[in-house]
Chains A and B, each alone.
Chain A
Amino acid sequence: GAVVSQHPSWVICKSGTSVKIECRSLDFQATTMFWYRQFPKQSLMLMATSNEGSKATYEQGVEKDKFLINHASLTLSTLTVTSAHPEDSSFYICSASLVGGTEAFFGQGTRLTVV
């Protein structure tokens, strides 16, 4: 199947700093990438949908100025958590859809801990 690489797999940062998470589709072009957040023992919550070359569409309740999403190419999307706080600590997962397809393939996830 298609491979999606997410980096870093885990990160610890100080409160008030920013963290960037990368999501790459390694062997296919992804027109659409999804960013999810998952708290312990809860389901994936969609944060935003990003389409290459256009602004991301954020879900209700997700602050677009805090969670900056860039999808500059068909193989790379980034999520930047700005001014991180301990309540932002979570498992962040990206997924990417094939061009013209409907299946989404997940990255390995990034466990963010803000101290």
Chain B
Amino acid sequence: QKEVEQNSGPLSVPEGAIASLNCTYSDRVSQSFFWYRQYSGKSPELIMSIYSNGDKEDGRFTAQLNKASQYVSLLIRDSQPSDSATYLCAVYNNNDMRFGAGTRLTVKP
């Protein structure tokens, strides 16, 4: 069974700190990896995608992928209170998109 595992949190960091979110997946042949942010009562929105091993940076966000370890992470630098949300890791392979349970992040002013 294909699984995507995330620490449900809550993860609490002070404003300005680095938030680190982790995700592991079980399907070795997974092709694409995504991080979505979901505010309460809203639909998820895509914030990062990563397809190859290594780091990918976009503004304050850095996604890291290690296919050998089946591990993907998201770093948020200079965390802001507006970053407080649930972050969903998603793994895609062959028309199948699976989500982790999400990690709830709280950034305290």
Contact = CB atoms under 8 A, between A and B. Distances in A.
A1 B99 contact: no
B44 A34 contact: no
Given A42-B101, A44-B99, A51-B95, A105 B46 contact: yes
B99 A102 contact: no
Interface string A20-48: 00000000000010101000001110100
A43 B97 contact: no
A108 B43 contact: yes
A67 interface: no
Interface of B is mostly: strand
Given A102-B32, A103-B49, A104-B92, A95 B97 contact: yes
B97 A34 contact: yes
* Interface residue tally on B, bucketed by range: 20 to 34
A2 to B, nearest CB: 10
Given A1-B46, A44-B44, A44-B88, A103 B34 contact: yes
A112 interface: no
A11 B46 CA distance: 25
B8 to A, nearest CB: 9
Given A32-B95, A42-B101, A104-B92, A109 B31 contact: no
Interface string B79-109: 0000000001010100111111110000000
Contacts of B97: 34, 46, 95, 97, 104
A8 to B, nearest CB: 14
B99 A43 contact: yes
B60 interface: no
Interface of B: 31-32, 34, 36, 41-46, 49, 51, 88, 90, 92, 95-102
Given A109-B42, A109-B43, 14 more contacts: A6-B43, A32-B95, A44-B88, A49-B95, A93-B43, A102-B32, A103-B46, A103-B49, A104-B97, A106-B44, A106-B46, A107-B43, A108-B42, A111-B41
Q: Please give me the 8 A-B residue pairs with the lowest Cβ-Cβ distance, nearest first.
A: A43-B101, A109-B43, A102-B32, A106-B43, A44-B99, A102-B92, A43-B102, A108-B43
